[in-house]
């Protein structure tokens, strides 16, 4: 009887206790002077600390370099099997490198591997020169791409992140370009490498991302260290279908960099989850068309992605369909006819409902042409 009473009161106490997140993360808990945590699919910010403070970012600069390299491969102007020959300029780079000699050749695949795994400054320049003809031209493209992505805090002066006056970005901007690079899933073939070899096994390279050995679900992304920038990192990880991206800039030591990154990712995975958005079963396949050559027209909606929710909340995503009962002809394939809106707490995702076929306006000429075609096809 006594055990039953204890169990009863314990159950009651659990019901009346407020639901709290697994743990909170205060700004002071992150040693980095600038940091951000973002859910990669939606871009929702889960934690931020001085996110727009302009700072050097060392070799995290190579995230943009790699983005442009992968976009060059998408366009067909660069291929993994292409041979890249190091120029005198590329071979002259200091800091972390693979000791390229002027005139030495490697495949683009190996140059990318060296840039990602060993953070090789010389390989990054060799790739940049191959894509744009010169590092200066490539840096111009880096800055243009940064503007396209909304990176308002960023000015690139080189393609590898070596300290240079005016070469600045922010944690927010690093997250933007990292998220864009992560859309190229091929990058994970490189960021997941712990140890590999170049030059037929003569040169060993080891990944600068030590979280590969210690953090569950880690997938990348890039580290960086210089005197001006301190120790920096953009880290990506995936668990239970959710991909998180953290950025820390200006840590005093490499140990702090990895600890901060792990703490940010831990906070995200402990406190948030995602709800995959499903195509609404109640959305009709057609819509009534008034004054058209057809009484109905096909419609559809491209629903993708998910909504980020707090684990402490029991809210479910609610779907609302906003569209008229009928529309006037003419209708063109791709016309926006309404929207499907998913809401969960303060989160909202909106998708257009579009026409999936043309419906011509019913005119005398159109009706006559339709009848004529029907007769002649008999």
Residues designated as active site: 59, 62, 119
Co-location of 209 and 349 in the same domain: no
Q: What is the CATH number of the domain that holds 306?
A: 2.60.410.10
Q: Which of 39, 104, 88, 100 is nearest to 244 (CA)?
A: 39
Structure tokens at 159: 């393609």
pLDDT of residue 364: 58
Q: What are phi and psi of 300, to 5 degrees?
A: -165, 175
Q: What's residue 10's pLDDT?
A: 38
DSSP class per residue in 164-221 = -TT-BB-HHHHHHHHHHHTTSTTHHHHHT-SEEEEGGGTEEEE-S-GGGGTSTTEEEE
As for how many domains the chain has, the answer is: 2
Q: CB under 8 Å to 152, separation ≥6 — which residues?
A: 173
What pLDDT does 86 receive? 98
245 with 323, same domain?
Answer: no
Q: Which of 213, 245, 272 is the last residue of a domain?
A: 272
301 and 211 co-located in one domain? no
Burial bucket for residue 2 (CB in 10 Å: 0-12, 13-18, 19+):
exposed
Q: Does 109 share its domain with 156?
A: yes
Distance CA 85, CA 102 (A): 8
User: Are both 298 and 364 inside the same structural domain?
Assistant: yes
Q: Which domain holds residue 370?
A: 286-376
Same domain for 362 and 251 = no
Kindly give the confidence (pLDDT) of every residue in the chain, 378 residues in length, as a single tens digit, with 9 standing for 90 and above: 444 444 444 344 433 333 344 557 887 789 999 999 999 998 999 999 999 999 999 999 999 999 999 999 999 999 999 999 999 999 999 899 999 999 999 999 999 999 999 999 999 999 999 999 999 999 999 999 999 999 999 999 999 999 999 999 999 999 999 999 999 999 999 999 999 999 999 999 999 999 999 999 999 999 999 999 999 999 999 999 999 999 999 999 999 999 999 999 999 999 999 888 889 999 999 999 999 989 999 999 999 888 898 888 767 889 999 999 999 999 999 999 999 999 887 788 899 999 999 999 987 565 555 555 656 665
Do you know the residue count of the chain?
Answer: 378
What do you get for the CA distance between the two ends of the chain, in Å?
Answer: 88
pLDDT recorded at residue 324: 95
- Tokens 């998408």 correspond to 74
- Residue 143 is assigned to a structural domain of this protein: yes
Residues 186 and 334 in one domain: no
Same domain, 108 and 34: yes
pTM for this prediction: 0.83
Tell me: do 244 and 295 sit in the same domain: no
Look at residue 281 and tell me if it is in a domain.
Answer: no
Q: Same domain for 244 and 316?
A: no
The reported pLDDT for the residue numbered 19 is: 38
The SS3 assignment for 111 reads helix
CB 355 within 8 A of CB 299: yes
Q: Can you give the CATH number for the domain in which 157 is found?
A: 3.40.710.10
Same domain, 218 and 347: no
């Amino acid at each position: 009887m006594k055990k039953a009473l204890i169990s009863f009161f314990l159950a009651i106490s659990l019901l009346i206790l407020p639901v709290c997140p697994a743990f909170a993360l205060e700004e002071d808990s992150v040693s980095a002077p600038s940091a951000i945590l973002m859910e990669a699919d939606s871009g929702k910010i889960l934690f931020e600390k001085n996110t727009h403070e302009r700072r050097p970012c060392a070799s995290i600069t190579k995230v943009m370099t790699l983005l442009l390299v992968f976009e060059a491969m998408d366009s067909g102007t660069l291929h993994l099997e292409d041979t890249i020959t190091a120029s005198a300029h590329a071979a002259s780079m200091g800091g972390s490198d693979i000791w390229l000699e002027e005139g030495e050749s490697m495949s683009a695949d190996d140059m990318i591997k060296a840039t990602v795994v060993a953070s090789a400054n010389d390989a990054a320049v060799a790739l940049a020169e191959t894509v744009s003809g010169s590092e200066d031209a490539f840096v111009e493209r880096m800055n243009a791409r940064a503007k396209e992505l909304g990176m308002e805090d960023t000015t690139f002066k080189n393609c590898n992140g070596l300290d240079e006056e005016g070469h600045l970005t922010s944690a927010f901007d690093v997250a933007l370009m990292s998220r864009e690079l992560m859309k190229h899933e091929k990058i994970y073939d490189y960021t997941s490498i712990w140890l590999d070899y170049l030059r037929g096994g003569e040169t060993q390279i080891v990944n600068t991302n030590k979280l590969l050995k210690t953090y569950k679900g880690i997938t990348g992304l890039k580290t960086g260290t210089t005197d001006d920038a301190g120790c920096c990192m953009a880290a990506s990880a995936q668990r239970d279908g959710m991909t998180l991206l953290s950025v820390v800039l200006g840590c005093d030591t490499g140990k702090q960099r990895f600890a901060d990154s792990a703490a940010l990712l831990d906070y995200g995975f402990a406190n948030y989850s995602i709800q995959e958005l499903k195509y609404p079963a109640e959305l009709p396949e057609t819509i009534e068309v008034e004054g058209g050559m057809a009484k109905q027209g096909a419609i559809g909606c491209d629903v993708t992605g998910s909504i980020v929710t707090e684990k402490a909340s029991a809210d479910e995503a609610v779907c609302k369909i906003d569209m008229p009962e009928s529309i006037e002809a003419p209708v063109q394939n791709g016309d926006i006819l309404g929207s499907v809106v998913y809401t969960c707490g303060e989160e909202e995702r909106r998708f257009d409902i579009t026409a999936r076929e043309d419906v011509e306006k019913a005119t005398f000429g159109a009706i006559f042409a339709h009848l004529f075609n029907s007769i002649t096809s008999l």
